[in-house]
Amino acid sequence: DVKVTQSSRYLVKRTGEKVFLECVQDMDHENMFWYRQDPGLGLRLIYFSYDVKMKEKGDIPEGYSVSREKKERFSLILESASTNQTSMYLCASSPARVGYGYTFGSGTRLTVV
């Protein structure tokens, strides 16, 4: 069964900490995405990547960075965590070809205290 795996289901971090959220896919997909989901705001795109070492800003990149050193892994980095980054973070991947849906991970619920 194809999968997108997010390293942590729940995470609690302190304000100011550097936080790494890891996402790994086993489908050889070219595209990978990071979203955050908040009540009343839906899913908002933070960053996405078309290929290894490629990255593009989404709608809300401020306070985040990403890394894609290998095709299967896409990391989201919170350089200095703040309480307003408390959220559900969802990783997804898709083939480069149009006509296929996204495969999502189970999500990481991050709480910054």
Partner 1 sequence: SQQGEEDPQALSIQEGENATMNCSYKTSINNLQWYRQNSGRGLVHLILIRSNEREKHSGRLRVTLDTSKKSSSLLITASRAADTASYFCAPLRITGGGNKLTFGTGTQLKVEL
The span of 12-20, 63-71, 77-85, 91-99 binding partner 1 (CB under 8 A) equals 91-99
- Reference 56, options 23, 34, 41; nearest CA is 34
What burial letters (b/e) apply to 96-107, b meaning 16+ CB within 10 Å? eeeeeebbbbeb
Q: Which of 19, 29, 31, 34 binds partner 1 (CB under 8 A)?
A: 31
3 in contact with partner 1 (CB under 8 A): no
What is the nearest approach in angstroms of partner 1 to the Cβ of residue 16? 27
What are 24's strand-pairing partners?
5, 73
Applying CB under 8 A, the residues found at the interface with partner 1 are: 4, 31, 33, 35, 40-43, 45, 48, 50, 56, 58-59, 88, 90, 92, 94, 96, 98-107, 109
